[in-house]
Amino acid sequence: MFLALIQKQLKLIWRSPQELLILLGMPIALISIIGFALGSLLDGNSEAIQIKVAFAMHEDENVALETFVQDKGETFGIGRNMLPSLQQMLPIATLRKEVFDNEEMTSFLQVTTITPQEIAKAKQDDVYDAIIEVPSGFTEQFLLSIFEQDTAPVLPIYLNDDKEIATTVVKRIVDTYQYQFTLMNALAEQGMIEADFTIPIAKVSSSIETVNGQQPVSVSAYYSFSMGVMFIMYWVGTIAGQAFLEKDKHIFDRILLANINPAIYLVAIIISTVFLAMLQMLILFIFAHLVFDVSYGPWSLYIVTTFMIALVVGGLTAVLSAINYKFNSVSASNLFGSSIVAILALLGGSFFNLSSIMPDIARIGYFTPNGAALQSYLTIQQGGNLAQIMPYLSTLGVLAIMFFVCAFLVFPKRGGIA
Partner 1 sequence: MIEVVNLTKSFKKVKAVNDVNLYIEPGEIVGLLGPNGAGKSTTIAMVSTLIQPTAGDILLQQKSVLQHPIALRNVLGVVPQDIALYEELTAQENLEFFGSIHKIPKRKLKERIETVLQQIGLQQELKKPVKHYSGGMKRRLNIGVALLHEPQYLIMDEPTVGIDPQSRNYILETVKKLNKEANTAIIYTSHYMEEVEYLCDRIYIMDKGQIIATGTKEEIKAILSSEKTIELKLEKHSKPFVEELLQQGVLSNIQVKESHISFNVAKHTDFLPIVLPLCETHGIVLKSFHVQEPTLEDVFLHLTGRALRN
Ligand X SMILES: Nc1ncnc2c1ncn2[C@@H]1O[C@H](COP(=O)(O)OP(=O)(O)OP(=O)(O)O)[C@@H](O)[C@H]1O
Residues lying near partner 1 in the complex (CB under 8 A) are found at 1, 3-5, 7-8, 11-12, 15-16, 249-251, 253-260, 414-418
- By a kind-dependent CB cut-off of 5 to 8 A, residue 193 interacts, out of ligand X, partner 1, none, with none
203 Cβ partners below 8 Å, 6+ apart? 145, 152, 178, 181, 182, 185
By CB under 6 A, residue 418 contacts ligand X: yes
x/- site string to ligand X, residues 285 to 324, per CB under 6 A?
----------------------------------------
Q: Closest CB to ligand X among 120 and 417?
A: 417
Q: Degrees (nearest 5) of the Cα angle 114, 146, 87?
A: 50
Question: Alpha-carbon distance 114 to 131, whole Å?
Answer: 10
By CB under 6 A, residue 417 contacts ligand X: yes
- By a kind-dependent CB cut-off of 5 to 8 A, residue 12 interacts, out of ligand X, partner 1, none, with partner 1
307 Cβ partners below 8 Å, 6+ apart? 274, 278
Phi and psi torsions of 267, nearest 5°: -60, -40
Q: How many residues bind ligand X (CB under 6 A)?
A: 2
Q: Closest CB to ligand X among 298 and 416?
A: 416
Question: Alpha-carbon distance 75 to 71, whole Å?
Answer: 8
Q: Closest CB to partner 1 among 264 and 291?
A: 264
DSSP class of residue 134 equals E
Residue closest to 82 by CA, chosen among 71, 73, 93, 91: 73
What is the smallest separation between the CB atom of 320 and ligand X, expressed in angstroms? 22
- By a kind-dependent CB cut-off of 5 to 8 A, residue 409 interacts, out of ligand X, partner 1, none, with none
What is the smallest separation between the CB atom of 414 and ligand X, expressed in angstroms? 12
Q: Closest CB to ligand X among 237 and 415?
A: 415
14-36 exposure pattern, b = at least 16 Cβ within 10 A, e = fewer: eeeeebeebbbeebbebbbebbe
Q: Closest CB to ligand X among 212 and 328?
A: 328
What is the smallest separation between the CB atom of 363 and partner 1, expressed in angstroms? 43
Q: How far apart are the first and last CA of the chain?
A: 26
- By a kind-dependent CB cut-off of 5 to 8 A, residue 11 interacts, out of partner 1, ligand X, none, with partner 1
Q: Closest CB to partner 1 among 121 and 249?
A: 249
- By a kind-dependent CB cut-off of 5 to 8 A, residue 260 interacts, out of ligand X, partner 1, none, with partner 1
Order of strands, sheet of 154-159, starting from the edge strand that comes earlier in the sequence: 109-114, 51-57, 130-134, 154-159, 205-210
Q: Closest CB to ligand X among 409 and 417?
A: 417
- By a kind-dependent CB cut-off of 5 to 8 A, residue 416 interacts, out of ligand X, partner 1, none, with partner 1
Question: Alpha-carbon distance 130 to 170, whole Å?
Answer: 7
Q: Closest CB to partner 1 among 7 and 180?
A: 7
What is the smallest separation between the CB atom of 49 and partner 1, expressed in angstroms? 44
Question: Alpha-carbon distance 322 to 417, whole Å?
Answer: 15
What is the smallest separation between the CB atom of 404 and partner 1, expressed in angstroms? 23
What is the smallest separation between the CB atom of 378 and ligand X, expressed in angstroms? 49
Q: Closest CB to partner 1 among 171 and 247?
A: 247
By CB under 6 A, residue 258 contacts ligand X: no
Q: Degrees (nearest 5) of the Cα angle 258, 259, 263?
A: 120
Phi and psi torsions of 15, nearest 5°: -90, 0
CB 388 within 8 A of CB 379: yes
Q: Closest CB to partner 1 among 12 and 152?
A: 12
- Residue-by-residue DSSP string for 342-355: HHHHHHTTSSS-GG
x/- site string to ligand X, residues 10 to 49, per CB under 6 A?
----------------------------------------
- By a kind-dependent CB cut-off of 5 to 8 A, residue 249 interacts, out of ligand X, partner 1, none, with partner 1
**Element (H or E) spanning 133, and its range?**
strand 130-134
Question: Alpha-carbon distance 315 to 82, whole Å?
Answer: 73
Residue closest to 284 by CA, chosen among 234, 337, 224: 224
Binding site for ligand X (CB under 6 A): 417-418
